Structure 1
Amino acid sequence: MGLFQRKNAQSAEDKPAAETFSVRLPKQASSMAPEGVWSNADLDPTPRSQWTWGVVTWWTFWLSAVADPAMFQTGSSLIPAGLGVSDAIGCVILANVVISIPIVLNGTIGSRLRIPFPVAARSSFGYWFSLLPVVSRAVLSCVWYSIETYNGGAAMTQCLRAMWPSYLNIPNHLPESAGMTTIDFCSYFLYWLLQLPFHFISPKNLRWFFALKFVYVPIVALATMGTMVHQAGGGGPLVAQGATAKGMDYASAWCLGFAALCGNWATLAVNSPDFTRYSTTPRTQIWQIPGLLVSTVLITTCGILAASASVIVYGGEALWSPFDIYSNWDNRAAVWFCSFGWIIGSIGANITANSISAANDLTSLFPKYINITRGQIITAVVGGWAFVPWKILSSGTSFLNFMSAYAVIMGPFAAIITADFWLVKKFNYDVPALYDPHGRYTYWNGINWRAVVTCIVTIAPTMPGLIQTVNPNIQVGDVFWFYAPGFVSGYVPALLVYWLLNVFFPHHDTLIASAVTSTAPEEAAEGDIESKASAQ
């Protein structure tokens, strides 16, 4: 559904209906919510006609999410922390293997039941307490949206510089305290405008945009890395020097890098049902594991080698940003081609990982007024202008700290959802009841106290480490090591705590013998047949 609803024109001449904007959305006839509970079609289980994401789409989806300037810089940022190139690549591999497990486990909810994350969370957190992870994820999606938009603005600067070199001569009229120049602001605004129309594309149709990025952006990453390595005559000094950190400093750098890389996808570990609900079969979404791993290793390795080679080519410190590298290129055609590729990369990452995710959350919070299209527009406005990404990206270390900081909070959220579906309910959800605030998933006043206890027990021990990360002047002692692994520090304990609480204190009304799905009998049968065929 778009921004408008259709109303019948009333006139003597019986004019045809016209599109009229209405703040409040019409209650969808297909809504699963009971009478008196407002919902809309974007929250309903995905209909059979929209199960369009096959194996190729999942590969292109992850490359679309990964291949962006932020990921290009993330791998390179591990080097200043004290890791060698081989250590950094090993850290990337391990972190992405680890984080792909909860992504697929929680994604199974969407691929089997076809429901989005905000609805699925009601089973484990309770109908009303589920708003906590929903709001948390919406805020984080907006933060990441701002970062991707800032990176897109940097790409826009290089594109415009390639077309009109005089663009860089625009005088700065902003104070130093603003954190950006007039050129930066203009580029940021132009990129934001360019990105805006993509928010009107339905998620089921995004696979065509994924395919474009799947071809274009890897060529850009490889071309950037290849050009730098060729000019340097090799991989550069960072490749040869190995790890600079030793002992505890080395372990700390490894943990920080591991936490940051896991934290990079912590939100998708929570909300993967938002995307897997479009999967052609329940098993197809498993291809996320190789798709995520291969894409991440490719982009981060290109970033590491390009940054290392830049030391020889340009002298001084390594250039972590691809746009700092392009600023030294004289070939305007090459600068435009590569920079435009990163524009596509940023838009793809922003849409897949951020705007659609936040839109699903906002839809569940305000179903009377917000659908997925409106939610994406709100994300574009709030995420694009209410945050200051140039502060977050001021250095490689601060960027890693930011990414790892929220992973310890998202980890327990993801674990509770995993444990509830796989260990407690054992795939058996009553889907229609998930839309009823007075149904079996009400627990106590809409709150599942087992989820509350799990959050308190598993998040509280990480808070001292989180405080020290935000403010290094505050020393918390050895307890910091529990925080250091990030996502894992929250995910593994929460998985066990929530499962044990349900073993000793089960909520019998939610433990049903078989799943109650939303699909029509003939559609369910077709899904079962396809699932069996996929398994074979």
Structure 2
Amino acid sequence: MEPKQVEEVNNSLSNDDLLPVPKEERTWKTQNFASMWMGVINNIPTYAAIGGLVVLGFSPLQVIGIVLLASLILYGALALNGHAGSKYGIPFPVLARTSFGVLGANVPALLRGIVAIVWLGIQAYSGSAAFNIAFTLLWPGWAKLGGDWSFIGINLPGLLSFLIFWGIHFLILKRGMESLKKFQAYAGPIVYIVLIGILWWAIDSSRGLKVIFSQPGKYETFGSALFPFIAAVAGIIGIWSTLILNIPDFTRFARSQKDQIKGQLYGLPVTFTIFTFVTVTATAASTIVFGKPIGDIIVLLQQFDRPIVIAIAAIILAVATITVNVIANLVSPAYDLANLFPKYITFKRGFYLTMLAALFTVPWKLIENAETIFTMLNLIGGALGPIAGVMIADYYIIRKRKLSVADIYTLNGEYRYYKGYNYRAFAATLVSGVIALIGAFVPSLKALYEISWFLGVTISFVSYIGLMRIHPPVVSKDLVDRREVEIMDELEEVAE
């Protein structure tokens, strides 16, 4: 169905940014999806997460195995949930209407949006710290600006660095998704300059890869390593699980289904494994050179004696962090806000509102009480895994990959359920979310929390299918009659 036809169905549920992307505007090729993931993965927080596994006691080879398995599982989930976006040209909050209801979809979209906005602010502040270091190295007087002046707990150099870093995000999305496509085509690959330099240093300073990869971890037997290994895989998946939900926001621009599937394959498992190889090599080498593993790339860079090199590397890594921030934390809430108030908010307006909201989270204060804020975000984020399970079950098992696009944009169609809400989706999400997250509150069940993503997706997938089979939605007579007419029209077209 063409976008114009959809708009005529019910414009209270649509605007130009929520309607299916026309075929001629679906221009993202394999290399665009590959470079997107190159930009998403190659950044400061990911380096810290991978380096942290070495610090926790996993051997370099074990870490590579953890990330390879996690990236393959992630790729499978992303390709599955991205299929509908590519086939029908619709974003995540619109796709969620088919399972949660045309009005109920606002709930998972709002949850995803809240998590993204808070993380947008935190990531922007983290990236600005690299800017601050670079500015200080290039101009030592930078650190003395403002003297003892501070604003809500941040000094003038830190605030200026944050505002500059925050402001760059506006340049990337000034022309919507097309400008993002162009930016990531350059930002993703350029980070490899820093990675190649770090890899060369690691191999040279530790006298070869053999010495690095011969370092043992603390988990020496299969039995002792098994559950920590699975928990680590779940943890890595958890970092990117939010993107599983809103991957249709990007695949809707795919030139073909093959482009999004191949592009994500090259960009995720392949790039992530290469990135991990460099990261664990550098972290393991730091143990040999400095006597302890350094899992933070900024801290590692500060060990060198070349300010200019450190400054350039920090700026490049900070720019890469902008890429992941835009893709993971900015695009989704912009669409989510547009879905919530389609009459008044377009994608661009949603983008501006998201940026403003992230600014007012005052992220440097949030990080002061990091344990509380991260616990809250992890709990909300833990609910997003079950949502993905429901959406995948609905699309592949219940719908058999066949959606009525017109009904997605009307209050009286197939996806109305009961007053716009599908209780089955909410029940499956709630039950699986409770089981997956209960370990965060009950110490004896902590093991469940450590594999919460696997539990959440699996239980919600199975329970949603069960509820839809046991108590299927009531289909109105008007809808049945319309379906019969559509089937007859299709048969006539085939006959002709």
Change (3 A) 1:407 1:252: farther
Most deviating of 58-67 and 165-174: 165-174
Question: 2:34 — aligned with what?
Answer: 59
Which residue is 2:328 aligned to?
A: 353
Q: How does 1:314-333 map to 2 (within 5 A)?
A: 315=290, 317-333=292-308
1:497 Cα deviation from its structure 2 partner: 1.2
Partner residue, 1:242: 216
Paired amino acid for 2:412: H
1:245–1:351 CA distance, 2 compared to 1 (3 A) = same
Report the CA distance between 1:502 and its aligned residue. 1.9
- Most deviating of 99-108 and 213-222: 213-222
> Which residue, out of 476, 486, 508, partners 2:443?
476
Q: 1:289 aligns with which of 262, 265, 279?
A: 265
Q: Which residue of 2 aligns with 1:216?
A: 190
Call closer, same or farther: CA 1:325–1:185 in 2, change over 3 Å.
Answer: farther
The answer to whether the Cα contact below 8 Å between 1:86 and 1:242 also exists between their aligned partners in 2 is no
* Counterpart Cα distance in 2 of 1:146 and 1:308: 31
2:60 aligned with 1:85, yes or no? yes
More moved, 254-263 vs 271-280: 254-263
- Alpha carbons of 1:276 and 1:302: their partners in 2 closer, same or farther (altered >3 Å)? same
**What residue is the counterpart of 2:405 in the other structure?**
431
Are positions 1:204 and 2:170 aligned together?
Answer: no
Q: In the alignment, which of 203, 219, 228 is matched to residue 253 of structure 1?
A: 228
- The aligned runs of 1:152-167 (5 Å cut-off) are 152-167=127-142
Moved more, 62-71 or 298-307: 298-307
Letter in 1 for 2:328: A
| Maintained 8 Å contact 2:187/2:319 | yes
**Whole-Å separation in 1 of the counterparts to 2:179 and 2:66:** 34
Does residue 225 (structure 1) correspond to residue 199 (structure 2)? The answer is yes
Is 1:280 aligned to 2:273, yes or no? no
Cα distance between partner residues in 1 of 2:457 and 2:274 = 27
Instruction: Give 1:185's match in structure 2, choosing from 144, 154, 159.
Output: 159
CA distance, structure 2, for counterparts of residue 327 and residue 513 of structure 1: 65
For residues 75-126 of structure 1, what are the alpha-carbon distances to aligned partners after superposition, in whole Å with 9 as ceiling and x for unaligned?
0111233322221111111111112212111100011011111111011011
From the superposition, tell whether residues 276 and 414 of structure 1 become closer, same or farther in structure 2 (CA, over 3 Å): same
Contact 2:379 2:437 in 1 (8 A): no
CA distance in 2 between partners of 1:484 and 1:202 (Å): 37
Q: 1:155 to 1:334 in 2, by over 3 A?
A: same
* TM norm structure 1: 0.81
Q: Which residue number corresponds to residue 376 of structure 1? A: 351
CA distance in 2, matches of 1:333, 1:439: 61
CA contact (8 A) 1:454 1:497 kept: yes
- Identity rate, percent: 24
1:514-534 CA deviation, whole Å, 9 max, x = no partner?
A: 998xxxx9xxxxxxxxxxxxx
Once residues 63 and 483 of structure 1 are traced to their aligned partners in structure 2, the CA distance between those partners, rounded to angstroms, is 29
State TM-score, norm by structure 2.
0.87
The answer as to 2:43 corresponding to 1:68 is yes
1:457 equivalent in alignment to 2:423 = no
CA contact (8 A) 1:260 1:403 kept: no
Aligned to 1:524: none
Please provide the CA RMSD for this pair. 3.2
Q: In structure 2, what residue type is equivalent to 1:476? A: P
Q: 490, 496, 501: which is aligned to 2:462?
A: 496
Tell me: CA distance 1:329–1:385, structure 2 relative to 1, closer, same or farther (3 Å): farther
* 8 Å CA contact retained: 1:360, 1:375: yes
**What's the CA shift string for 1:152-183, capped at 9, x where partnerless?**
212212321342133234576378994x6554
Is the contact made by 1:117 and 1:273 (CA closer than 8 Å) also made in structure 2? yes
What whole-Å deviation, never above 9, does each CA across 1:298-323 have from its counterpart, x for those lacking one? Answer: 2233222222322343x354322222
Q: Give 1:286 shift.
A: 0.8
Q: Deviations over 1:243-295 (max 9, x none)?
A: 22578875553344222211111111111111100000122211213321112
Partners of 1:515 and 1:56 lie apart in 2 by 42
Post-superposition shift, 1:29? 7.5
C-alpha separation in 2, matches of 1:208 and 1:515: 44
Greater relative contact order, per chain length (Cα 8 Å cut-off, separation 6+): 2
Change (3 A) 1:195 1:96: same
The 1:297–1:133 alpha-carbon spacing in structure 2 relative to 1, beyond 3 Å, is: same
Letter in 2 for 1:483: Y
- In the aligned structure 1, how far is the partner of 2:225 from the partner of 2:412? 52
Q: 2:65, 2:380 → 1: CA distance?
A: 23
Distance 1:88 1:394 in 2: 29
Residue identity matched to 1:423: I
CA distance 1:303–1:384, change in 2 (3 Å): farther
Q: Is this contact kept in 2: 1:112–1:282, CA < 8 A? A: yes
The residue that corresponds to 1:447 in the other structure is 421
Change (3 A) 1:37 1:153: same
Say whether residues 1:302 and 2:250 are aligned partners.
Answer: no
Structure 1 range deviating more: 294-303 or 239-248: 239-248
- Partner of 2:473 in structure 1? 507
Q: Deviations over 1:302-360 (max 9, x none)?
A: 222222322343x3543222221222333233223312211220121112222111111
What SS does structure 2 have at the residue aligned with 1:32?
A: helix
Q: Is the 8 A contact 1:236 1:312 kept in 2?
A: no
Question: Cα 1:333–1:60, aligned 2, differ >3 Å: closer, same or farther?
Answer: same
1:388 matches 2:363: yes
Gaps of 5+ in 2: 491-496
Contact 1:84 1:238 in 2 (8 A): no
State how far apart, in whole Å, the 1-side matches of 2:365 and 2:199 are.
25
**When the two structures are aligned, how many residues end up with a matched partner?**
479
Q: Distance in 2 between matches of 1:289 and 1:515?
A: 40
CA distance 1:480–1:328, change in 2 (3 Å) = closer
Output the CA distance in 1 between the equivalents of 2:74 and 2:373.
19
- Cα distance in 2 for partners of 1:305, 1:47 equals 45
- Any conservation in 1 of the 2:101–2:417 contact (CA below 8 Å)? yes
**SS of alignment partner, residue 28 of structure 2:** coil
Answer whether contact 2:206 2:212 (CA < 8 A) is retained.
no
Any stretches of 5+ residues in structure 1 without a counterpart? 1-27, 468-474, 522-536
Choose between structure 1 and 2: higher helix proportion.
2
* Structure 1 contact 50–204 (Cα < 8 Å) conserved: no
Q: Aligned pair in 2 of structure 1 residues 36, 223: CA closer, same or farther (>3 Å)?
A: closer
User: Are the equivalent residues in 1 in contact too, given 2:57–2:218 (CA < 8 A)?
Assistant: yes
Q: Structure 1 residues 399-408 or 160-169, which shifts more? A: 399-408
Match of 1:419 in 2: 393
Q: Partner of 1:283: helix, strand, or coil?
A: helix
For the 8 Å contact 1:429–1:515, the answer to whether it is kept is no
**Cα distance in structure 2, aligned partners of 1:307 and 1:399:** 28
* Residue in structure 1 matched with residue 168 of structure 2 by the alignment: 194
| 1:37 aligned partner | 12
